[in-house]
């Protein structure tokens, strides 16, 4: 089972992602800001990070940049809200491998993951 780290400042979104993913993935951590995301990535070395863009202390773009700089093979899928196209472009520059748009449904989440981490 692929190991997944969930980074989102919204407990509701973390719970939603966990419910969507836990059947086929092992959730190895849940964090609520970019600083925790980088630390948890180093600690857990997951197969995939589901990273929210807008988070306190350090956003998902900065966290993705740091993770990808240290671990170029890391797989990061950004979770973005409708209307965040500019931030999405920044995230791609930072090394994001894919993205899903909130509010997300299971099929679109699974498709994005399959594109990045083929089963």
> Is residue 115 assigned to a domain?
no
pLDDT of residue 32 exceeding 90 = yes
| Total number of domains constituting the chain | 1
Query: What CATH number is attached to the domain comprising 65?
Result: 3.40.50.2300
Quick one: what percent of the chain has pLDDT higher than 90?
86
pLDDT of residue 103 exceeding 90 = no
Instruction: Out of 28-42, 56-70, 93-107, pick the least confident.
Output: 93-107
Position 104 scores a pLDDT of: 84
Average pLDDT over residues 73-90: 90
> Is residue 118 assigned to a domain?
no
Residues 71-85 as b or e (16 or more Cβ within 10 Å = b): eeebbbbbbbeeebe
Please report where in the chains the tokens 């997944």 appear, as a residue. 4
Its domain, for residue 75, covers: 3-109
Closest CA to 85 of 53, 60, 59: 53
**Coil, strand or helix: which one is 45?**
coil
> Is residue 38 assigned to a domain?
yes
Position 83 scores a pLDDT of: 83
> Is residue 114 assigned to a domain?
no
């Amino acid at each position: 089972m692929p190991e997944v780290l969930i980074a989102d400042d919204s407990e509701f979104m973390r719970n939603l992602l966990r419910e969507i993913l836990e059947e086929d993935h092992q959730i190895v951590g849940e964090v609520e800001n970019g600083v925790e995301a980088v630390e948890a990535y180093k600690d857990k070395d997951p197969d995939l990070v589901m990273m929210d863009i807008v988070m306190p202390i350090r956003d998902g773009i900065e966290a993705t940049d740091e993770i990808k700089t240290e671990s170029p093979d890391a797989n990061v899928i950004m979770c973005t809200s409708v209307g965040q196209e500019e931030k999405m472009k920044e995230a791609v520059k930072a090394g994001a491998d894919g993205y899903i748009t909130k509010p997300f449904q299971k099929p679109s989440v699974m498709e994005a993951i399959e594109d990045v981490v083929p089963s």
